[in-house]
Structure 1
Amino acid sequence: MNTGTEFRPHLRPSSGLVLICFSFLTTLGISQGDSTQRDTTYLVPYLDKIIVKANLETQTDEYQYLNEDDGTRLHLIPNNVYRLFLSLDYEFLGVSVGVVPKFLGANSDEGLKGESSFTDYRFRFFLGKWVQALEYSKVSGYYVKNMGDFAPDWTEGTDPYLQFSNLTSSKYGMSTSYVFNPNFSYRNIVYQNEWQKKSSGSFVATLFYDYNTFTFNELDIDSKERFFNIRLAPSYYYTYVLHENWFVSGNLSPSLGIRFSQNTTLDGTVTDIDTDSYFTRSISTGLNLGYSSKKVIFGANLTFNSSWYNEGQNSRTENDQFYGVLYVGYRFEPPTLVKKLFKPFTGN
């Protein structure tokens, strides 16, 4: 397809793999809980219950590149509409798996947009007022969403999108969060393994650090980008209890960070290696309406996130997303065997 514009992605990133197995920390201090007394009139913990939950969300891995010289914008997006996450939490440990099954609109209109794949694994550890999270995700297959900007005679729904089936992004991510107010339940609105019974708010400081790779092998170009991000988000969360079981919560999370990148491109017989660092900025805000009881939890969450950084004087990479999440879960007593397996760590 001739779009009138040559697209040669210059994928950038950086230093080596930083994700290290963190699970050994679960053996350190997890039975001691929070050293600050928590008021049970404000919240009820359910770490001793198994919680199974399903999340349906519309978030996708989109990338936008803006050339400020001519005002052109390239918008890359994978061909999936919804993502399903199945999770299980018990005591100090939580795990979830994300997929895009066919019945949720995965790879719709394959003839026009191509095929995409998505895999996501997440682990979390609850250590008193600290929450440690780990994530691995991989997405393959993107298409150019804004084809009309490059091909004026292109017709939506009839003409195929420009596709990059060999464009793959992978992420190894970690985050460390600290909740300042012991009477505010960060877990109630993020993981639903506590029950906020009285209105409260708190500052939550989170350090994000992740290692990413982008690989591209098309149009006689073999490119691999590696980059390492680190950013700090001083967030504020507040939960207002509408009724004993109903609550609404909101948050505002600005963040600043640094991206270190290294890009290696093989174009024919010429190899180009480029190393850079960038100052990154982002802001996120969310609104959550939920229901919580001793056994049943469900709710809906709306989130807006905007992030950007300048690659040079005349180019900028940005990503603006507005997405929703629906979740439903159930709490129940763990089997005796599970209690015995966790007893050396919890003392219960």
Structure 2
Amino acid sequence: MLLAQNDLPSEHFHKQDTNYITSYTSELDLTTRFYNSVKFSRYVLRDSRYDERLKYASNENLILGVGVSYRRVTFNLGLNFPFVNSWDEEEKGKTKYLDAQIHYYLDKYVFDAWLSTYKGYHLTNPHETTLQSPDDDSYPIRQDVRNTNFSFNLMRILNSEKFSFRAAFAQDEWQKKSAGSFLIGAEYNMMLSSADSTLIPLNVKESDFFDGYQMKKSAIVNIGVSGGYGHTFVVAKHFYFSIVATMAVGGSYTSLESSDSTQEDINGLTLNVNYSTKVGLGYNSRTFQVGLATVQTFMTNHTPLDHAKITENPGNVRINLIKRFVLKKPIKMPILNKILF
């Protein structure tokens, strides 16, 4: 995974309040990291007439990786170790996935973009939504289910002089005093889901769940305006707790395809409401940082069906061990210098 963060020419650098933020993005600063993370994807089908929801989830994989940051450019390499992640495949199935992300965390702006595709899900709550026997503790496995998501968003940090987004989520700054900021922006999402047969189990409790539509494919494209708030609480200068929450409201174009040849394809314009949270906590200092960072997004779309909603919930939980160094001289990287200046 490559996280690239470009900057503006030095004469246009944004002024940060050094009483609140210390930056380690100069040509003599080098940030290194060891991390482990768990990425997941959840796919939820809901009928507003009933309390039950069909909750499909990927089989989470533990990723171990290393990374380095220099002058706002970050490169991380993570590896999936099969001997670590195969222990519950018989119970929950195997998930194959590609998850690529790009994050630009500048002083005033936050830009996130990602492309992910997950194949292989299991139904996490069969006893709530289907007639599966109470004595049967298995999870129905759907190796044929695939979800692909392409999304990007841009946020403006209104109090960027005192509030650092990078400190908790890029680990090359240090927030030394508590501060927060309102956020405004816009986002775009495209979500594609498919299966070999209907995603509605044949033994579902409510026969008219999802209006009885035997959906096997969905395509959703939405665009919306977003806003929210982020705050970092700092105790004794070094211990921090950061939370960022945003909501986006917009319009969607949704298309549904049924596995039943007697049911026509359905499409139309609908409403979407997306929620996103980022949480970071840990210890930060001049030379060392250890922290936990989580990212979750809930993309809920009303469908052209009267009572049906689809929610995509991708996320990531990561533990970072950070060590910073002061270099004796800048690293000679001509190509990087041209990108940054």
The verdict on how the C-alpha distance between 1:42 and 1:33 changes in structure 2, with shifts beyond 3 A counting, is farther
Aligned pair partner of 1:61 in 41, 52, 65: 41
Is 1:308 the counterpart of 2:300? The answer is yes
Of residues 308, 311, 317 in structure 1, which corresponds to 2:310?
317
Within the candidate set 326, 332, 335, 1:341 is matched to: 335
1:153 aligned residue (126, 133, 150)? 133
Answering whether residue 193 of structure 2 is matched by residue 214 of structure 1, we say yes
Aligned amino acid, residue 118 of structure 2: V
CA contact (8 A) 2:233 2:241 kept: yes
Deviation at 1:32, TM superposition (A): 4.0
Q: Distance in 2 between matches of 1:232 and 1:53?
A: 34
Q: Pairwise mapping of residues 86-125 of structure 1 onto structure 2 (< 5 A)?
A: 87-96=67-76, 100-104=80-84, 106-125=85-104
Give the superposed CA RMSD.
3.6
Q: Distance in 2 between matches of 1:230 and 1:56?
A: 32
TM-score, normalising length: structure 2: 0.77
1:154 CA displacement: 4.6
CA contact (8 A) 2:40 2:315 kept: no
Which of 251, 261, 264 is 1:258 aligned to?
A: 251
Give the letter aligned to residue 184 of structure 1.
Answer: F
- Compute the displacement of 1:203 (Å): 1.3
Name the SS of the counterpart of 2:57 in structure 1.
strand
Structure 1 spans left out of the alignment, 5+ residues: 1-22
| Distance in 1 between residues matched to 2:126 and 2:280, nearest whole Å | 34
Q: Does 1:187 align with 2:166?
A: yes
1:165 is displaced (CA, Å) by 0.7
Q: Kindly tell me: are residues 139 and 152 of structure 1, through their superposed partners in 2, closer, same or farther at Cα, counting changes over 3 Å?
A: closer
Contact in 2 for aligned 1:79/1:107 (Cα 8 Å): no
Distance 1:135 1:331, change over 3 A: farther
Residues 1:139 and 2:118 are matched in the alignment = yes
8 Å Cα contact 1:96-1:121 kept in structure 2: no
Aligned residues: 318
TM-superposed deviation, 1:71 = 4.4
Q: Percent identity of the aligned residues?
A: 18
Q: Secondary structure at the match of 2:167?
A: helix
Normalised by the size of structure 1, how large is the TM-score?
A: 0.76
Name whichever of 195-204 and 324-333 sits farther off.
324-333
Q: SS of the counterpart of 1:60?
A: strand
Task: Tell me which amino acid in the other structure corresponds to 1:247.
Answer: Y
CA distance in 2, matches of 1:33, 1:137: 37
Matched, 1:278 2:265: no
Q: Runs of 5+ in structure 2 lacking a partner?
A: 200-213
Cα 1:266–1:287 shift into 2, 3 Å:
closer
What is the 5 A alignment of 1:191-202? 191-202=170-181
1:333 CA drift (Å): 5.4
| 3-state SS of paired residue (2:41) | coil
Please point out which of 219, 224, 232 is paired with 2:225.
232
The 3 A distance-change label for structure 1 pair 85 and 271 is: farther
Deviation of the 1:131 alpha carbon? 2.8
Distance 1:212 1:318 in 2: 10
| 1:140 CA drift (Å) | 0.7
Partner of 1:15: none
